[in-house]
Amino acid sequence: MSDKPSLRAPRTPPAVRPSVLGRPEGTPAVRPSIAAPEREFEFSNGDFERVRALIYKHAGISLSPIKQDMVYSRLARRLRARGDRTFAEYLDRAQREPEEWETFVNSLTTNLTSFFREAHHFDILAERLRKHTAKAPFRIWCSAASTGEEPYSLAITACEAFNTLAPPVQIVATDIDTNVLATAQKGVYGIERVERMSRERVQRFFLKGTGSQEGQVRVRPDLQRLIEFKRINLLDKSWALQGPFDAMFCRNVMIYFDKPTQHAILERFVPLLKPDGLLFAGHSESFLHAADLFRSLGRTVYERTPARVR
């Protein structure tokens, strides 16, 4: 899970009160307010609360009350596409039709990501990779793959650490959103997405498009071979995963869950992470409320709490 841009309906500006010191003659005391445009579909507080309850129950996402405009903007598109006249009618459809339910969830999940976001994490991972001497591959779970920039950054880090395009590394990249996973599997991006990388990195790990593909880059097949993409909802009762992992990236995901949900997910992480493994969180996330499970190593990197090590 990462952020899509929030779309908000324009708000009516407040009326301006006249100054207590007076005003120029002939000017209005109060500016006329500008009426907000009427919404295409009626969207009541009851509709919003129903959406909040559904996405919390099935995806664990705790939508803030201030997200009402964002929810309207994203779901109104689906009402138009399906020809529904009211939100109640659309939500009934979403609960009735599995394909539309998937689209409903995809519409409300957020996916802001970039290559080498929070770069210090990849430096820490590279140091751990260089120390890896076991015969078994170094295994990484990226639990919020989004459109693929994070798992491909992990693959690049591994290639550089071992100085080969075939490092002894296995990466499992998962997300709840099937649309972004499809983008991730293709590995094709606008060239502006890699502009912050060094020229050497881009030349080594990407292929530049020509002709109709000009302005785009594709990750090299060597990187794609290191990654297995699959859909996983962290709230599902079972995950199609087999541990243990040497490192787990769960960044900018937990901020969408309440504390009890976070603790429950972290508890399920414990047996999937090796006793000396690392758990990477987002810069705005803290697991202090789960100190019985994980302890901080600083800079949003965690390890299993010793009492939990078996």
Count the Cβ atoms, other than its own, within 10 Å of residue 229.
18
| Structural domain boundaries, residue 64 | 45-108
Residue 32 lies in a domain: no
Asked if residue 297 and residue 175 are part of one domain, the reply reads: yes
Q: Cα(159)–Cα(18) distance, rounded to whole angstroms?
A: 66
How far the first Cα of the chain sits from its last, in Å, is: 30
Residues 6+ apart with CB under 8 A from 152: 115, 187, 205, 219, 223, 227
pLDDT tens, 246-280?
999 999 888 878 889 999 999 999 999 999 999 99
Asked if residue 288 and residue 223 are part of one domain, the reply reads: yes
In the prediction, which pLDDT does 2 show? Answer: 46
The answer, yes or no, to whether residue 35 has pLDDT greater than 90, is: no
246 given a catalytic annotation: no
Domain boundary among 108, 131, 153: 108
282 confidence band (pLDDT: 50, 70, 90) = confident
39 given a catalytic annotation: no
Residue 209 lies in a domain: no
Q: Cα(275)–Cα(71) distance, rounded to whole angstroms?
A: 41
Residue 31 lies in a domain: no
Q: Which of 74, 78, 139, 251 is catalytic?
A: 74
Asked if residue 134 and residue 226 are part of one domain, the reply reads: yes
Asked if residue 138 and residue 282 are part of one domain, the reply reads: yes
Classify residue 168 as exposed, middle or buried by CB count within 10 Å of its CB (0-12, 13-18, 19+). Answer: middle
In the prediction, which pLDDT does 208 show? Answer: 92
Q: Which of 47, 175, 177, 246 is catalytic?
A: 175
Strand-pairing partners, residue 304, are 294
Residue whose pair of structure tokens reads 């100190």 in the numeric block:
291
Count the Cβ atoms, other than its own, within 10 Å of residue 127.
10
Element (H, E) at 121: helix 120-130
Strand-pairing partners, residue 250, are 281
Strand-pairing partners, residue 169, are 138
Element (H, E) at 138: strand 138-142
Average pLDDT taken over every residue of the chain: 85
Residue 268 lies in a domain: yes
Q: Cα(92)–Cα(30) distance, rounded to whole angstroms?
A: 45
Q: Cα(174)–Cα(221) distance, rounded to whole angstroms?
A: 19
pLDDT tens, 224-249?
999 999 999 998 889 999 989 999 99
Residue 161 lies in a domain: yes
User: Which has the minimum average pLDDT: 34-38, 52-56, 135-139, 186-190?
Assistant: 34-38
Residue 151 lies in a domain: yes
Q: Which of 274, 12, 1 is nearest to 140 (CA)?
A: 274
How many distinct structural domains can be found in the chain? Answer: 2
Which CATH number covers residue 223? 3.40.50.150
